[in-house]
Each structure stands twice: as structure tokens, then as C-alpha cells.
């Protein structure tokens, strides 16, 4: 399994305006969620919204697949992924503000970003994620784009085009450098009652 190449992935998603269509599908999925669940603000678990959004996103992207002979939907276990032109293997995910998605740590989930191994019997595909991020209050989508990781490190990312005229790939904005004291990693203590970040914690595989 090759390490994902940005130019290759970009070129494949540009074909037939796939990037535009997938972005529109994810955006429409968010509209679907807002219309069907107007009282979602009371949901106690942040992962509930994430799971519902994933279901609608997959459903909408399935429609894009149906109109493109170069795209294929692959359903396995309790999830779904997509293949583009027999080269790029991608899945849809919600990401945090640093563009990291989280998964329940099954062996298969852990292997997705370890590119020396093939998954699900598919050989030689470049594996990436098409992710969406929310704003701080989960009231709007912030960013929709492609992220390539090598285990725990992000290799590259780019935003999916918003229109045909978008020629430049826009990377995810990086946060300004903070003082050293602000970047100290604090361990997450199971069962802690205070300091939980509902928008970042508790993500599990949809």
C-alpha cells in the first residue's frame, strides 16, 4: 500500500468534478441533519451528532457514486468506504480542529493510516480521509477536505473546491504558535467530571 501522494489524489478527485460533488454531498448532509433533527441541541453525547452526520454523508455520497463509473462504494462490517479509479481508497469522517479523526481502536481502524498494510483485500490503493469539521458550537460546517495521515502524523491536507473556478488548493489553516506553557499535553483521566471538551472527546467509529 503506497503512502498517499497529494498530486495523485488531487488529480483523481478533480476528474468529473468529483471534489465539487462530494463537497456538495457533505454540505447537503448537514442540511438534512438540521432539518430532520431541529432539537438536536439537547443531545447529551457529542458522538450522537457525529454518527447521524456520518450516516447522511454516506447516503449523499452514494448518490455521487451512482453517477460516476469510476467511483465504487464498498460496504464492510458496520461502515462504508469508497474507491476512486481503482487507485484512491477514502472514507468519510468527522475531524477535530486539528484535522484528526478518532476511531474505536480496533485492529482494522488502527491499520487505516499504516500504509505498509493492505485492508479489506484491496491492494495498492492510497488511503485518505475526506473529513468535515464543525465550528465551536456545532452550528455550522467549518471545513471539508482531504487529509492524508501516516499513523499519528498528518502528511498533507487540502480543502475540496467550492466551485469550478477554484484553481488553488487551500490547506487547513494552522493555529498561531502558542507559548510553550499553553501546549503542554495534559492526560485525559477516565471519569473526570471537569475539563471535558465535548466537541473533541469521546469520538468513536461511526
Query: pLDDT of 17-33, one tens digit each?
Result: 999 999 999 999 999 99
- 2: Cβ–Cβ under 8 A, 6 or more apart, which residues? 115, 124, 126
User: What's the pLDDT tens digit per position in 127-186?
Assistant: 999 999 999 999 999 999 999 999 889 999 999 999 987 755 555 655 555 544 444 444
Q: Which residue has the higher pLDDT, 122 or 87?
A: 87
133-158: b (≥16 Cβ within 10 Å) or e: bbeeebeebebbbbbbbeeeeeebbb
CA dihedral 119, 121, 122, 128 (to 10 degrees): -20
**Model confidence at 40: pLDDT above 80:** yes
Q: What is the per-residue pLDDT across 64-121, written as a single tens digit (0 to 9) for each?
A: 999 999 999 998 778 899 999 999 999 999 999 999 998 766 666 666 667 666 665 5
pLDDT at 151: 83
The residues, any chain, with a CB within 8 Å of residue 106's CB and separated by 6 or more, are: 205
Pairing of strands 141-150, 88-94: unpaired
* Residue 105 pLDDT: 62
| Cβ atoms within 10 Å, residue 19 | 25
Residue-level pLDDT at 67: 95
C-alpha cell at 118: 493492505
Cα-based torsion angle of the residue sequence 62, 5, 126, 130 in order, rounded to the nearest 10 degrees? -30
Amino acid at each position: 500500500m503506497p503512502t498517499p501522494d497529494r498530486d495523485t489524489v488531487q488529480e483523481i478527485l478533480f476528474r468529473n468534478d468529483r471534489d465539487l460533488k462530494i463537497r456538495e454531498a457533505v454540505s447537503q448532509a448537514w442540511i438534512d441533519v438540521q432539518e430532520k433533527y431541529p432539537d438536536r441541541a439537547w443531545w447529551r453525547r457529542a458522538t450522537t451528532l457525529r454518527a447521524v452526520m456520518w450516516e447522511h454523508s454516506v447516503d449523499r455520497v452514494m448518490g455521487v457514486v451512482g453517477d460516476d463509473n469510476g467511483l465504487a462504494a464498498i460496504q464492510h462490517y458496520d461502515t462504508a468506504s469508497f474507491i476512486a479509479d481503482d487507485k484512491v481508497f477514502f472514507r468519510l469522517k468527522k475531524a477535530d480542529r486539528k484535522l484528526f479523526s478518532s476511531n474505536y481502536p480496533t485492529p482494522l481502524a488502527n491499520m487505516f493510516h499504516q500504509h505498509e498494510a493492505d485492508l479489506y483485500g484491496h491492494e495498492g490503493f492510497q488511503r485518505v480521509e475526506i473529513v468535515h469539521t464543525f465550528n465551536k458550537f456545532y452550528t455550522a460546517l467549518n471545513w471539508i477536505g482531504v487529509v492524508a495521515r501516516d499513523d499519528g502524523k498528518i502528511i498533507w491536507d487540502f480543502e475540496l473546491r467550492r466551485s469550478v473556478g477554484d484553481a488553488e488548493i487551500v490547506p487547513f489553516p494552522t493555529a498561531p504558535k502558542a507559548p510553550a506553557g499553553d501546549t503542554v499535553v495534559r492526560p485525559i483521566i477516565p471519569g473526570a467530571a471537569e475539563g471535558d471538551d465535548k466537541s473533541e472527546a469521546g469520538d468513536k467509529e461511526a
